[in-house]
Structures are given as structure tokens and as C-alpha cells.
Amino acid sequence: MVLRTIDVSKVKPQSASFLSRVGLYFSLLLSIGFLNACSDNEAVLKESSGTTVYHVKNGNEVVSRMITTRDGGIMMVGSYGNDAFLFHMGSDGEEKWHVTISESGLDAFNDVCETSDGGFVVCGYTNSYSLGVNNVFQDGLVMKFDRDGREVWRRTYGLDRDDWLTSIVEVENGNLFLGGINRTDNMDTWILKLDQNGRLIWSKRYEIGPYFDLCMDVEVKPDGNYAILGYASPSGVAFEIRKYRIYFASIQKDSGTINQGWIYAEERTEPIDPFRNFLTFHKTSDGFCWMDNSSTTTNKRVVLMVQTNFSGDVLNSSYIQSEKFNKMVDFKVSNDGFALFGSEYPDQVQLTSSKGLMMELDKSGTVVSRIYSGNENGQRVLFGGIQANGHWRLGGSTWNDQIGRSKLFLEKLDVKSAQ
């Protein structure tokens, strides 16, 4: 394993080499003038009118991931209490089917991908089958469902102690590539490759940082090899990492070895919960774009957007800072730029109420509009959306303290510029 650490202080910004461009990105973070910075005053605020379809199942659903399906609908996965769920809606918000996994222990889904045969594969974790004392240890959980929600197979994988699978993508020949976290004494990056029936092809564990490594998302490169994105921490304690860096690595598809990678040397000191901060990336036409949430000392949250080519050269970087507290959980790549989905809180202290928030960015990373969903009487989070004929359908979950239950929703949105 060869991972290069970029020391910003030793990089000459005028150089056009790969290392200097990565270093330049972190130098730019120190200078507002070189970044595409955008506040609420620069964005076009929009109001929405439309109808919303709500679904109440068990009442405590927490969404982990939402994807757009090939038939124009959406799939949400997550957990409620000790159980895991999948929920499939059509393009108009109607329920197609849902599945609940309720075993003897704790079960949760973190990610889902639609497969080439029209089915769905989900990953997460469970201790329902653990060999640990009193089901203490958790294992990675992978399940395949057909297009109608019928279970095809399920598999559990684990190394030592706790194992969580955080992300999944279908790769060549219907195989699956997954990323996750293995916890022994510390936390390590864990990656697996499975065949289309869930049988293990290879499994690798990497110690990228001296204390904690967290693989948060996976993707496929145009050459057929894979890429992973995650956090590496030089210090801290579990679930409360005080210092961390973001890492990227290219993975050889046949062996699982790292053939290229780097750790961004700019060290952050804000507290981070790796299971609640959303670090994610997607492919664009000419590379990758990744998004990270980062707290600031002014009770704000800065959203970082970084665009690279497939070789790792930084093409563009931007930050988005609001007068309020934004937490973005995912984004989509469009022809015009990017759409970010999440929520907006009054501030970092008052986290009991929020509005759903979608931000539209142009290709340079500048915010061009903010679209709000719901109000601050409760908590609402947008996890994704479908764009068709100039309109958006936004999906997510909402919690109302008065009734003490959460609801999944799809909001059919007609968007108009505010007057």
C-alpha cells in the first residue's frame, strides 16, 4: 500500500504537478478570494408549491440513503429502532413495496444500489447472527432483492469484533464492490468484492491512519478499477474523532490492492461523527466530485465541494457557508451543475427543528438557488430528488414532535422564483 501525504507547507503553488495541485487546494482553503464562496445573499431563494405524499410505517424510520430507480421512482433504505427497511416509491409517490428486516438483534441498512437485472442490493450491519457474547459484535450485512421486493439471498461478513458496511456499487459482470469499517483495537478501512450471488471474491483491510480509517463511499473508475473515499484520523476516540483528514485511493479490481492514493494533509479539528457526517462522491463526465460537511467555530457548517479528474488532479474546489446551520447528506450531478440535498437548522445548538433544503450549484460550485421544503415545526431532511420536465420531486423523511412519529415522503414540487 502506497499512500502519499501532501504537506501543504512544502508545495509550491505555481507548479502544475499533481502533488502541487492537491496542495494548492488546501492553500486555497485559507484564502476566501481564491474560492467559490457563496452565502444566502448570493443565492436565488425559491418558494415551492405542490403536493406531498406521506407514508407512515413503523413511525421511527431514519433514512440512510435514497437513490433514483430506472423506472423513475425512488428507493429509500435505513433503520428504525433495531430493524432495517427498504421502501420503494413510484414517480408520483405511490408505494410500490416495502420490506422490513426484523431479526433477534440490531439490523440496519446504510446503502443500496440497483443492479443490472432490475433488482436491488443493500448493505449495512447486524448482530443478529453474531458469534460474540450476547450478540455484542456486529457483522457486515448484504442482501439481494428482486425488482418486486422478494429476497434472493443474504450474506454476513465479518473480521474481528465489529464490522460495518457503509457503501456498495455494482461493478463488472454483476459483481459487487463494498466499502466499510472494521473495528479491532482501532478502526480500519475494510473493502470487499463479491460475485453476483454474494460469494466472497476478496476482502482487504487497510490501516491508512494510525488510529482510525473510515471508508465512507465507493465508486467505479472508467478503466474498470475502483475508488474509495474516507476519513483518516491521527488521534481521537471512537465516534468522536477530534482530528481527521480525508483520503482517496484507487483500488485494483482483481486483487483489492491500493495502486494510487493520497491523504489530504490539511488537518481538521472539528468533532465528527463518521456515521452522521456525510462524505460522499459521484462520477462526472470528466472525473469525480466529492462533498463533505464540516463544522465551524461560528456555529455554522461549511460544505466542501471538490472536483478532480480520474487521475486525482484537483480541477475545482469550493465551499458553501450559510448564515444558518446547513447539513447536506447527498448530491446529484446534472448537465447544469450539481443539486445538494439536506436540511437547514436555525443554528448548531437548536437541532430539534429543521427545514428540508436543496441547493442548486453551477459547474464551478457556486450556489445559484436554495429551495426549502416544509417548515421548522419538526425535523425534515431531503435525501435526494428526481428532475423531470423542469420540475423536482424531492424525497426524504420528516419528524413531528407533536405526534412523535416520523414519515417518509415524496414532494412533487413546482418551483417558482421568489418575487
Q: What single string gives the DSSP state of each residue in 224-249? A: S-EEEEEEEEEEEETTEEEEEEEEEE
> Which of 145-154, 254-263, 343-352 has the lowest average pLDDT?
343-352
How many domains, the chain? 1
Q: Which residue has the cell 412519529?
A: 405
- The count of residues in the chain is 419
Q: Which residue has the higher pLDDT, 270 or 17?
A: 270
* Inside any domain, residue 102: yes
Indicate if the pLDDT at residue 28 is higher than 50.
no
Burial class (CB in 10 A: 0-12, 13-18, 19+), 397: buried
What's the confidence (pLDDT) of residue 131? 53
Q: How far apart are CA 341 and CA 332, in angstroms?
A: 8
Q: Which residue has the higher pLDDT, 56 or 319?
A: 319
Average pLDDT over all residues of the chain: 75
pLDDT grade, residue 414 (50/70/90)? Answer: low
Strands 36-38 and 314-321: parallel
Q: Which residue has the higher pLDDT, 377 or 93?
A: 93
Q: How far apart are CA 392 and CA 130, in angstroms?
A: 43
Identity of residue 167 = S
Share of the chain above pLDDT 90, in %: 26
What's the confidence (pLDDT) of residue 34? 26
Share of the chain above pLDDT 70, in %: 71
For residue 280, which of 166, 398, 408 has the smallest C-alpha distance? Answer: 166
* Inside any domain, residue 110: yes
* Inside any domain, residue 247: yes
What's the confidence (pLDDT) of residue 147? 94
pLDDT in tens, 36-49: 333 333 444 444 45
Q: Which domain holds residue 278?
A: 4-54+77-324
Q: Which residue has the cell 410500490?
A: 96
Q: What angle do CA 248, 254, 256 make, to 5 degrees?
A: 40
* Inside any domain, residue 116: yes
> Which of 85-99, 109-123, 204-218, 245-259 has the lowest average pLDDT?
204-218
Helix (H, G, I), strand (E, B), or coil: what is residue 196?
coil
CB 247 within 8 A of CB 261: yes
pLDDT in tens, 240-279: 555 677 888 899 999 999 877 776 656 655 555 555 557 8
Q: How far apart are CA 278 and CA 292, in angstroms?
A: 6
Q: Which residue has the higher pLDDT, 408 or 221?
A: 221
Q: Which residue has the higher pLDDT, 308 or 222?
A: 222
* Inside any domain, residue 360: no
What's the confidence (pLDDT) of residue 267? 62
* Inside any domain, residue 350: no
Provide the grid cell at 81: 429502532
* Inside any domain, residue 353: no
Say which CATH number the domain at 213 has: 2.120.10
What's the confidence (pLDDT) of residue 268? 59
Which residues have CB under 8 Å from 156's CB, separation 6+?
126, 129, 139, 140, 141, 142
* Inside any domain, residue 314: yes
CB 339 within 8 A of CB 366: no
Identity of residue 226 = Y
Q: Which residue has the higher pLDDT, 218 or 247?
A: 218
